[in-house]
Amino acid sequence: MRLRHCLLLPLLCGLLLGQDATVKDAFLQAKSLWATQGDREGATQRFDSVVAALAPKGISLEPEGVQMLCEAYNWLAVLDDRSQQNKPRAQVRLQALIDLNPDFDVDRALTSQRLAAQFDRLKGEKFALVKLSLAPEGGRLLVDGKAVPALPRKYLPFGLHKLAYARPGHTPAELTLELGPKDVKTAEFKLERIASTLTFYVQPSDIEVLLDGKSLGHTTGKAGPEAAAMATPLGLRPEDLSAAFVIPELPAGKHRLELRAPCFRTRILELGEDLATPPADHTLEPIRMEASKGILSVASAWPGGELFLSGQSLGPLPVVKALVCSGPYELLVRFPGGGFSQRVTLQDGKALDLEARPKPRLAFAGLEGGDFTGRARFQALLEALGDRLQQLAFLPARPGEAPREALARLKASREAELVLIATPVQDPVIHRVELVLATLDGEEEHLLVKPLEQDPLGKLATRLNTLPRLSEPGLGLTLLDVPGEPGPWVLAASETALKAGIQTGQPLLQFEGKPLPTAETLRQQLGSAKGSLSLGQGGAALTLPVLQEAVELPLGSPELCYPAILSHLRLQYAGAKGDEANLIKLNMALALMQFRRYDKAIELLRDARLTTVRGVSQGTIDYHTGLCFIHLGPAYQSEAAQAFRQALKYPQATLLGPEGPLVAPLARQALEDLR
């Protein structure tokens, strides 16, 4: 006996672990032990093990489990009834059975008449019989709001009950019954059909269903054996299909049934009027969805890029003709320094080729805590900021990540060049939010915005999209608008211009054969000019080449966002050479000077060498170097003086641009001040 118990232990453990197959096996073994060997004790032990495994689950059991548990109780009651020692337990078994499922009837062939009568008596003490007439069948029965199997006979506890019966395409019905001891009542439901129903299966599952453009939900689950007849001719198994999707009331007239899902071609079925009228139940053939893919190619001249589509890596660039499910994506290319992001839509069967140019990445770290009116709208605006940025790749905040944690992560991973963090200003009532936009090296700007204004981020977006030019087209001429003169007056001209025939002290009268009223007109025309231009001073037309002349980054401009500019310049510098690279260095230094990072600015300026001597040139670099040293304090006076002396070697060097103030008098004064 003990040995048997020991042998049963693993079985019980298995049952406890919810191994349904083992429970079923034990159940069948128990029946077999009794039927074939007459081993009552062995059968009882196995039935007990089934009860021990299933009873704790109670009403959460699947119908099959309930049925097995009920039968086990039935068997145990019979076995206990035959044992003098266990006879009292038989009633307990029966009571448990009734409590579990009052609609279950004991096996009258197996159960003695006496025990069956005892069962009926026990049931009759708490339950009354309701005979149900359901027309048409196949509907859904609710007793006191709870779905129950639609059986022709139901036992319900004494008291007042509300019964409801419904079936798609029919008017639902309900009635109320008062049940007492020994009552046997009849409940008759005869539903009236009001519309057609449409049932269909889709392969695969999780497909959105739209009727006449209105979403009805998604297909779910898997079809059961009832779909086998339809699945087999198509070479499918029932479980390949979704569970039946029922449109319960198909209105009269024609309809358009649309099935759609990412990665699949949208299926559209035109439903004829005959499906809706006369009202009937219709089942469509299973609908198979066809895969839908686009072809994506992404390349870049910058090395080290890795492609991500909505967060999923597609590997390093170049990505050539990758088959990708059609649909919208957040495309992101991560470069070692910078990123490229774009919202793309891949269309079925069509190719999309992209060239990725790295842009500085702006990571939104999140909106700090603090409740205020309009928070949800403001948060949404922050999250959608990326849609408004043309010059930056936007990385949205990670769901659930606190802004400070995000900041720490970004600083550690350096997966962005810029970070945006929003903090409500803790006034008695919050009306302002501080936006901090910073590089990972700490150059930051603070902006205060009012979350309830029409477009609190509009100005920031505009500033982030504005990039200054580092050069402008010119002709090597210094022009003045002199009142009374017929055109811009030539004050000075470069050697090239003089050789081309330009005369100083004379006005320019024509530009590309058209009258030229002002210097500003010429400047605007130069913006779109390339190669060379034709000018006139009253005589024969002259041709002058269009040159790119270096300019300095404007400082203190409210239209520019300097942390972003610094990030752009750092990225540009990575791909630049010669004078272009050194001009970028100069402008990076200027941006750093804006943030009072004079030591870092000197590091850049010290290595920068421009070959030009006129306009923004080497003298400009030397002058700024001197200014930076002055800001570092008296310890660097000699270095500052050295830099200013260097600047004096370039008498034609200017600040700001080719027409800006000369560096020389400023450097001379600075030297005098140092003395």
Partner 1 sequence: MPALSPWLRLPAALLCVVPVLAQAPPQDAGLAERLYRSGDRAYTDKAYKEALETWTQLLQAAPGSTFAPQALLRLARHQVEIEQKPDAAMPFLDRLRGEYIKSPEAAEGLLLRGVLLARQARRPADLKDAMAEFNRVLDLFPEAAACAEARLQLGRAWRDQGQPGRALQLFVDAFRLREDATAAAPAMLEAAKVLDTLGDLPSCLRMLQQLRTRAPQSPEAQEAAWRTAVLVKQRLQKPTLKNEGPWPAGRTKWLKTPILLAMAPEGDLLLFQSDLDRTFRLRGGELIPQGPAAPGTRALVSAPSGPLWLLTKAGLLREDTPTVLPLGALGAISGAALDRWGTLWVADAKTPALTLFPLEGPARTVASPTASALAPLPTGGVVIAADADRKLLFLDPDGQPRTIVPYGKDLPAAFRTVTALAADGVGQVAALVDGGDFGEGVVIYGPDGAVLRQATFKALGITGRITSLVLDRSGGVILCDRRNDLLLRLN
Does 558 interact with partner 1 (rule: CB under 8 A)?
yes
Q: Which is nearer to partner 1, 273 or 673 (CB)?
A: 673
* Closer by beta carbon to partner 1, 26 or else 663: 663
**Closest approach of partner 1 to the CB of residue 489, in Å:** 7
Nearer to partner 1, 71 or 552 (CB): 552
Decide whether 175 or 452 has the Cβ nearer to partner 1. 452
For partner 1, which is the closer residue by CB, 326 or 654? 654
Q: Which is nearer to partner 1, 267 or 523 (CB)?
A: 523
Distance, in Å, from the CA atom of 675 to the CA atom of 673, rounded to the nearest integer, reads 5
479 near partner 1, rule: CB under 8 A:
yes
H or E segment to which residue 418 belongs: strand 418-424
Q: At closest approach, how far in Å is the CB of 570 from partner 1?
A: 22
Cβ(257)–Cβ(269) below 8 Å: yes
Q: Are 101 and 135 in contact (CB under 8 A)?
A: no
From the list 92, 632, 655, 674, which residue makes contact with partner 1 (rule: CB under 8 A)?
655
- Cβ neighbour number for residue 181 with a 10 Å cutoff: 10
**Residue 645 makes contact with partner 1 by CB under 8 A:** no
Of 359-388, binders to partner 1 (CB under 8 A) are: none
* One residue of 555, 599, 609, 638 binding partner 1 per CB under 8 A: 555
The binder of partner 1 chosen from 103, 431, 659, 674 (CB under 8 A) = 659
Tell whether residue 120 is a contact of partner 1 (CB under 8 A): no
Q: Which of 217, 428, 527, 531 binds partner 1 (CB under 8 A)?
A: 428
- Residue 648 engages partner 1 in binding (rule: CB under 8 A): no
Rounded least distance, CB 429 to partner 1, Å: 9
- 381 to 420: interface string for partner 1, x by CB under 8 A: ----------------------------------------
Site for partner 1 in 488-517 (CB under 8 A): 489, 491-492, 505
Q: Tell me whether residue 240 or residue 445 sits nearer to partner 1 (CB atom).
A: 445
Cβ contact 51:65 at 8 Å: no
β-partners of residue 492 are 478
The interface with partner 1 within residues 588-627 (CB under 8 A) comprises: 596
**128 or 470: whose CB is closer to partner 1?**
470
**Cα distances (Å, whole numbers) of residue 192 to 144, 173, 198, 440:** 22, 9, 17, 71
Comparing CB distances to partner 1, the nearer of 543 and 669 is 669
Question: Applying CB under 8 A, which of residues 441, 444, 481, 579 lies at the interface with partner 1?
Answer: 481
Min separation Cβ 483 and partner 1, Å: 4
| 557 in contact with partner 1 (CB under 8 A) | yes
Which residue in 357, 388, 523, 614 binds partner 1 (CB under 8 A)?
523
Interaction between residue 233 and partner 1 (CB under 8 A): no
Which of 52, 55, 143, 666 is the binder for partner 1 (CB under 8 A)? 666
Alpha-carbon distances of 469 from 305, 358, 565, rounded to whole Å:
27, 18, 11
For the chain, the first-to-last Cα distance in angstroms comes to 111
- Selection from 56, 68, 49, 71 nearest residue 5 by Cα: 49
Peptide bond connecting 233 to the previous residue in cis, omega within 30 degrees of 0 = no
Closest among 622, 580, 546, 610 to 470, alpha carbons compared: 580
Using CA atoms, how far apart are residues 601 and 603, in angstroms rounded to an integer? 5
**Does residue 663 contact residue 627 with C-beta atoms inside 8 Å?**
no
CB-nearer residue toward partner 1: 151 or 555: 555
CB of 469 to partner 1, least distance (A): 14
| Strands 489-493 and 510-511, bridge-based pairing | unpaired
By CB under 8 A, name the one of 49, 478, 587, 617 that touches partner 1: 478
Helices 618-631 and 598-607 meet at what angle, rounded to 10? 150
Rounded to the nearest whole angstrom, what is the least distance from the CB of residue 660 to partner 1 in the complex? 7
- Of 556, 611, 634, 675, which lies in the binding site for partner 1, with binding defined by CB under 8 A? 556
Candidate ranges 28-36, 44-52, 249-257, 487-495; the one touching partner 1 (CB under 8 A)? 487-495
**Residue 623 and residue 614: Cα distance in Å, rounded?**
14
Contact region for partner 1 (CB under 8 A) — 98-106, 271-279, 405-413, 554-562? 554-562
Residue 353, both tokens: 């080729």
Among residues 484, 513, 527, 531, which is the contact residue for partner 1, using CB under 8 A?
Answer: 484
For partner 1, which residue of 554, 574, 576, 674 counts as binding (CB under 8 A)? Answer: 554
482 backbone dihedrals φ, ψ, rounded to 5°: -100, 120
CB atoms within 10 A of CB 107: 12
Q: Which stretch binds partner 1 (CB under 8 A): 1-9, 345-353, 382-390, 479-487?
A: 479-487
One-character DSSP codes across 23-56: HHHHHHHHHHIIIII--HHHHHHHHHHHHHHHGG
Dihedral angle sign, alpha carbons of residues 423, 425, 431, 432? negative
Tokens for 246?
């029922």
- How does strand 267-271 pair with strand 192-193? unpaired
The three-class DSSP label of residue 113 is helix
Instruction: Tell me how crowded residue 172 is: count the other CB atoms within 10 A of its CB.
Output: 14
- Tally the C-alpha atoms within 13 A of residue 626's C-alpha that lie toward its C-beta: 27
Question: Would residue 498 be called left, alpha or beta, if left means φ above 0 and alpha means ψ between -120 and 50 degrees?
Answer: alpha
Specify the residue, 345 or 504, whose C-beta has the smaller distance to partner 1. 504
661 forms part of the interface with partner 1 (CB under 8 A) = yes
Whether 79 and 86 have beta carbons less than 8 Å apart is answered as yes
Joined together, the tokens standing for residue 381 give 């605006």
Rounded to the nearest whole angstrom, what is the least distance from the CB of residue 620 to partner 1 in the complex?
A: 12
For partner 1, the closer CB: 363 or 551? 551
| CB atoms closer than 10 angstroms to residue 254 | 12
Q: What does the block give as tokens for 442? A: 């700490």
Examine residue 188 and tell whether it contacts partner 1 (CB under 8 A). no
- Euclidean distance between CA atoms 468 and 475, whole angstroms: 20
Residue labelled with tokens 């948060």: 379
The site for partner 1, by CB under 8 A, has a size of 35
Nearer to partner 1, 405 or 520 (CB): 520
Which residues contribute to the site for partner 1 (CB under 8 A)?
Answer: 428, 478-484, 489, 491-492, 505, 519-520, 523, 554-559, 596, 655-656, 659-662, 665-666, 668-670, 672-673
